[in-house]
Structure formats: structure tokens, C-alpha cells
């Protein structure tokens, strides 16, 4: 099969299109013929060597396609059936092997649609960040950094789905304000002035929860926009800056909380809950309740170009590889 292989960790240029042996399917696994692979910032981290995997390897954690083979212990999937999956890697390839528990069926309305490659990634992440990371309560106010990105593009919609009224978003550049508003944010602020903006919008109170996938100075300053008893949810570090030490005195005095969330770890520790969120996400997208905006589809062999765009912060919504 053809696969985009990373022979060594490094920049986007390290990708090589190679002919590799078809992967072997264990009794509890499913072989998927990949039609689309979602591109995530996690893939960038794994490619650089800041995440998981040892080269030579193939990155890619979410795919959609058709069942090519089921292991002898697998029940409930038929050959040729359209499916999506969250895999532990290997998604940028014509075939991937996935544990059957990490595969969900797709309705015919999503078959052949690149959006199908995003139903196990960004939307479940958004739902689980809200529900299990921050444990949000109705009426709480929210700030999300990176409102026009992949997770950002579904986050305000997921918050509304869970009964929260309005979400404020931040973006890194002015050209992303309109797309972010289109993704359902009540207000969108430029990140370099977000502290003043949030305090202004909330009459100085701040918000109950900040969701931060950026880190560095953005995370350090996010404490300033938290209301008393608020929580800061750390779920990524796109800035690649050293981790921020939370201000212990302010945490104690103001009752603030510092929460971490990893969708990958959540799936390892409580697959049943995460699997339920994949099924929920498929339904929300298939019924049109939540829109995933696939802004660009690249050919498999153009993964380098897609990673370059994502790393430059040039993208809005989701990027997908057509395999």
C-alpha cells in the first residue's frame, strides 16, 4: 500500500510517499481502507518528535473509509461497511489497522464525505473537554483560545449543544474573526488584546472557564480573565513554549482550578465514555446539528504542504487528506 512515511522526526519536508507492506490484522482488530484522513495539530507534534511514535512511522489519528477485513473475534462490522476510527497512528496511508472498539459505523449521508474523517477527533474532543474536562454547568461563561482552528471550529457549537449560552473566542489574526463568528462564537477577540477584551465584555468579572490549547504567554495571562472559582483547562501547547507554572497563591485565594485534558489518554482510560462521544458526534454531524467545516482537502502525497499551512497558523476549520 501507499503511505506517507516519516523516516526521521523533523519539519514538514520529512514526509516520504512510500510503498509499504499491508499491515496485519489481529483477531480483535479491523482493517480499514482509508478514504480520508483528518489532519490534526497532534500529527504535527508527533512528526516533530514532541509527541508519540518512533520513526520510521506514519502519523494520522483519525480516518474514514471502508472495512476491508475483520479479525476473527470482531462482531458487528461487515466488509465494505463505511466506518470512522480514532487510531493510534498510521492514518496517512491507504490502509490502517484499528482496534475494533475504536471503530464506529457511519451513516450513508456521511459516506464519501471528507467530514467523515473528523467525527472521532475534533468534535468528541470539544464535547469531552466541556463535559469531562471542565465539567461545565449550565449558565457558565466560556473563553476558547484558537476559535477558528479545527477544535475551535466546533467548540462553540458543542457548548451550545450542552446548554451553554455564549462562548467568547480568541484568534491570532484579524482574518480569522469572521470565520470564527461563523463557527458560532458570540464574540471573537484578537488574542494580543484578549485580557482587556474579556474584562470589558464581562464588566470586569471574567469568565468561568478558559480552554487553552496554546500555552506560553496566552496561558499565563489567562488567569487574569478567570472569575473567582473559575477553571483553566490546559489541553495543548501549540506555541511550543515552556509549560506555565500556575500561580499557587491566586489559585488558593480565589478558588481557581487548573485542569488538564487529553482525548488520547481519555480513550485509553475510559474507552466506553469516549466511544459514546464518537457515536454522539456522528449523529450530531449527520443530522446537521453541528457543522464541521473542512476548509481544504489535500492529496495524500501533499501532506507536507498541509502541515506547513497548519504550522504557520494559516488555516481555518479542518484540513483533510484524500487517500
Ligand X SMILES: NC(=O)c1ccc[n+]([C@@H]2O[C@H](COP(=O)([O-])OP(=O)(O)OC[C@H]3O[C@@H](n4cnc5c(N)ncnc54)[C@H](OP(=O)(O)O)[C@@H]3O)[C@@H](O)[C@H]2O)c1
CA atoms of 234 and 230, how far apart (whole Å): 13
Q: Quick one: which of 135, 137, 173, 269 contacts ligand X (CB under 6 A)?
A: 173
Binding residue for ligand X (CB under 6 A) from 37, 151, 159, 210? Answer: 151
CA 132 vs CA 128, 136, 156: distances in Å: 5, 8, 16
Question: What residues numbered 198-227 form the site for ligand X, per CB under 6 A?
Answer: 213-214
Stretch that binds ligand X, among 58-66, 224-232, 268-276, 307-315 (CB under 6 A): 307-315
Closest to 89 in 3D by CA, of 125, 124, 62, 49 = 62
Q: How far, in Å, CA of 11 to CA of 74, rounded? A: 38
Show the DSSP H helices in 150-292 as ranges: 152-161, 177-182, 194-201, 216-222, 248-254, 263-269, 271-286
Residue 157 in the binding site for ligand X (CB under 6 A): no
Stretch of 25-33, 39-47, 194-202, 295-303 lying at the interface with ligand X (CB under 6 A): 39-47
Q: Which residue is nearest to ligand X (CB)?
A: 149
Alpha carbon of 9 to those of 17, 41, 45, 46: distances in Å?
15, 15, 10, 8
CB of 171 closer than 8 Å to CB of 162: no
Beta strand pairing call for 318-322 and 29-39:
antiparallel
Give 33 or 51: the residue with its C-beta nearer to ligand X: 51
- 171 counts as binding ligand X under rule CB under 6 A: yes
Q: Does 125 bind ligand X (CB under 6 A)?
A: yes
Does 235 bind ligand X (CB under 6 A)? Our answer is yes
Contact status: 277 vs ligand X (CB under 6 A): no
Sole binder of ligand X in the list 263, 292, 306, 307 (CB under 6 A): 263
136 is a site residue for ligand X (CB under 6 A): no
User: Is residue 55 a contact partner of residue 108, using CB atoms and an 8 Å limit?
Assistant: no
Spatial separation of the C-alpha atoms in residues 323 and 219, rounded to whole Å: 37
Q: Does residue 152 touch ligand X according to CB under 6 A?
A: yes
Q: Is 150 an interacting residue with respect to ligand X (CB under 6 A)?
A: yes
Q: Residue 27 or 269: which CB sits closer to ligand X?
A: 269
Is residue 293 near ligand X by the rule CB under 6 A?
Answer: no
- Return the number of the residue (127 or 300) whose C-beta is nearest ligand X: 127
- Residues at the site binding ligand X, with contacts judged by CB under 6 A: 40-42, 122, 125, 146, 148-152, 171-173, 176, 213-214, 235-236, 238-240, 261-263, 310-311, 313, 315
Amino acid at each position: 500500500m501507499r503511505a506517507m512515511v516519516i523516516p526521521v522526526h523533523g519539519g514538514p519536508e520529512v514526509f516520504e510517499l512510500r510503498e509499504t507492506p499491508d499491515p496485519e490484522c489481529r483477531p480483535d482488530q479491523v482493517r480499514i481502507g482509508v478514504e480520508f484522513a483528518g489532519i490534526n495539530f497532534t500529527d504535527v507534534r508527533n512528526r516533530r518528535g514532541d509527541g508519540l511514535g518512533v520513526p520510521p512511522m506514519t502519523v494520522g489519528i483519525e480516518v474514514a473509509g471502508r472495512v476491508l477485513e475483520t479479525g476473527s473475534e470482531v462482531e458487528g462490522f461487515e466488509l465494505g461497511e463505511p466506518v470512522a476510527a480514532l487510531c493510534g497512528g498510521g492514518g496517512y496511508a491507504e490502509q490502517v489497522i484499528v482496534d475494533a472498539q475504536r471503530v464506529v459505523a457511519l451513516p450513508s449521508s456521511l459516506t464519501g464525505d471528507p467530514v467523515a474523517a473528523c467525527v472521532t477527533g475534533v468534535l468528541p474532543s470539544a464535547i469531552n473537554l466541556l463535559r469531562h474536562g471542565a465539567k461545565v454547568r449550565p449558565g457558565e461563561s466560556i473563553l476558547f483560545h484558537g476559535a477558528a482552528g479545527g477544535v475551535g471550529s466546533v467548540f462553540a457549537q458543542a457548548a451550545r449543544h450542552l446548554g451553554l449560552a455564549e462562548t467568547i473566542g480568541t484568534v491570532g489574526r484579524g482574518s480569522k474573526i469572521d470565520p470564527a463568528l461563523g463557527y458560532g462564537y458570540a464574540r471573537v477577540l484578537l488574542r494580543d488584546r484578549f485580557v482587556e477584551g474579556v474584562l470589558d465584555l464581562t464588566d470586569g468579572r471574567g469568565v468561568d472557564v478558559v480552554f487553552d490549547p496554546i500555552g506560553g504567554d496566552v496561558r499565563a495571562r489567562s488567569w487574569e480573565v478567570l472569575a473567582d472559582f473559575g477553571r483553566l483547562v490546559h489541553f495543548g501547547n501549540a506555541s511550543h513554549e515552556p509549560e506555565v507554572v500556575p500561580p499557587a497563591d491566586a489559585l488558593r485565594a480565589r478558588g481557581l482550578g487548573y485542569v488538564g485534558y487529553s482525548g488520547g489518554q481519555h480513550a485509553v482510560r475510559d474507552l466506553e465514555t469516549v466511544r459514546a462521544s464518537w457515536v454522539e458526534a456522528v449523529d450530531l454531524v449527520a443530522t446537521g446539528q453541528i457543522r464541521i467545516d473542512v476548509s481544504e482537502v489535500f492529496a495524500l502525497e501533499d501532506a507536507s504542504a498541509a502541515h506547513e499551512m497548519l504550522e504557520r497558523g494559516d488555516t481555518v476549520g479542518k484540513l483533510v487528506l484524500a487517500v
